[in-house]
Structure 1
Amino acid sequence: MDILHAFSADNMRFVLEGFYMTLKVAAISIVLSFIVGVVVGTIRYTKLMVVSPILAIVVELIRNLPLLLIIFFARFALPDIGIKFGAMQATIFALTIFEGAMIAEIVRSGLNSIDKGQIEAARSSGLGSVQTLWHIVLPQGLRRMVPPLVSQFISLLKDTSLAIVISLPELMHHAKIVIGQNYNYTLPILCLVALMYFTVNYALSLAARRMESRMG
């Protein structure tokens, strides 16, 4: 009977509201972190004087910090210097910064994996550095980046659950509230949450495989 009560219409609506917030934050963060990662990774690949070394230091610093620390920093430390974020904005900012640094390394590695002979051939045929990067290196590099990028996006989706510490009304936050009504709801609600995460992440994996097969 507790299982039936756990899946009542009110509880399901509340959990789905949290799931919607999770998907919304994840989608925005994926887009922003991808843009940041591609830009930073490409700049690091081109080895621009001054800029690339500075970005390398920033990327390594961020990659070696706990995401939870960055979330706390965005929510509670930035207001001290006049930058005030709500829970949703702080989460998106933290995920974008952290995952952007991870993606930047994926992009840089993907671009570096392109055979130097192709780059030399493109340059000898009259293409400039930017044209070679845009027409030769990036298209091939992005194909090779698909698996690690999707893995990173899946990690990002799961990492949204860390925002429970700043009371973002996401899936785990709402699940915790439902379970707090009756601890007999713990197993059914957590199983439901696990199914929701699995469904979205598995769909991303399938989409990545299909994309790889088409690109191949």
Structure 2
Amino acid sequence: MSFFDAFSWVNVRFLLDGLWVTIEVSVLSIVFSFIFGALLGTLRFSKIPFASRIVGIIVDIIRNLPLLLIIFFTYFALPQIGIRFDIFWSAVIALTIFESAMLSEIFRAGLNAVPKGQMEAGLSTGLSYVEVMRSIVIPQAFRSMIPAIVSQLISLVKDTSLAIIIALPEFTHNAKIIYGQNSNYVIPMYVALTLGYFVICYLLSLLSRFLETKRYSY
């Protein structure tokens, strides 16, 4: 049996369907986790009494839990208290929760890396704390955070494969279905998975390099 027999039109279409689900989950999770991660990181940096401490505890707990456990929790545990999501949204929510916690630390570290004199100088000109954060601190911090953020987002794309545990019909899941029907297709499917994830993650790494170049051009 030829290596290329595994790539019949039916199998290729099935793989592409799974790849599209992976992309959808990745994009939604990236958008949501970026928003929540930025909010949580900024909140921790601002050191608002009580609120910052509570957020810090929650973030530390989530960061030290396996993502697989969070996926299990959103899909199997939440329905026990009346909160139900389908497989797709369970995966998106689990990834968002986990990645928001990871990104929040990147944002907080980036903000802390900005010299305190920048904040003091901005406040001395009569700007409010929010205005200084928006116009001075965050733009400077974001440029230094780009490599770490993109690296974390690349990890997010790869982590979508863990949703196979709840039978999300994503890229890895569909490849497993194909080689489960014919053991001769194991190697071709792993080659397809390797190429698929490599292309997506490599494109993100190229984006990181482009943004890095733009950063140093300012």
Aligned amino acid, residue 197 of structure 1 = Y
SS at match of 2:117: helix
- For the pair 1:14 / 2:14, whether they are aligned, the reply is yes
Counterpart of 2:41 in structure 1 is: 41
- For the pair 1:111 / 2:139, whether they are aligned, the reply is no
Counterpart of 1:181 in structure 2 is: 181
- TM-score in terms of structure 2 length: 0.98
Counterpart of 2:5 in structure 1 is: 5
Aligned amino acid, residue 16 of structure 1 = L
Counterpart of 1:78 in structure 2 is: 78
- For the pair 1:206 / 2:179, whether they are aligned, the reply is no
Distance, in Å, in 1 between the alignment partners of 2:4 and 2:107 is 47
Aligned amino acid, residue 193 of structure 2 = V
Counterpart of 1:161 in structure 2 is: 161
CA contact (8 A) 2:4 2:188 kept: no
Shift of 1:30: 0.3
Distance, in Å, in 2 between the alignment partners of 1:107 and 1:155 is 17
Counterpart of 2:128 in structure 1 is: 128
Shift of 1:211: 1.0
Distance, in Å, in 2 between the alignment partners of 1:122 and 1:4 is 63
Shift of 1:120: 1.2
SS at match of 2:109: helix
Distance, in Å, in 1 between the alignment partners of 2:112 and 2:129 is 15
Distance, in Å, in 2 between the alignment partners of 1:117 and 1:33 is 30
Distance, in Å, in 1 between the alignment partners of 2:6 and 2:68 is 30
- For the pair 1:95 / 2:95, whether they are aligned, the reply is yes
Aligned amino acid, residue 12 of structure 2 = M
Distance, in Å, in 2 between the alignment partners of 1:85 and 1:2 is 42
Shift of 1:122: 1.1
Distance, in Å, in 1 between the alignment partners of 2:121 and 2:181 is 67
Shift of 1:4: 2.1
Counterpart of 1:57 in structure 2 is: 57
- TM-score in terms of structure 1 length: 0.98
Cα deviation code 1:140-187 (max 9, x no counterpart): 111111000000100000000000000000000000000011111111
SS at match of 1:76: helix
Matched positions, count: 216
SS at match of 1:139: helix
Cα deviation code 1:91-133 (max 9, x no counterpart): 0010000000000000000000001112111111111111110
Consecutive unaligned residues of structure 2, counting only runs of 5 or more, are: none
CA contact (8 A) 2:37 2:101 kept: yes
| Percent pairwise identity | 52
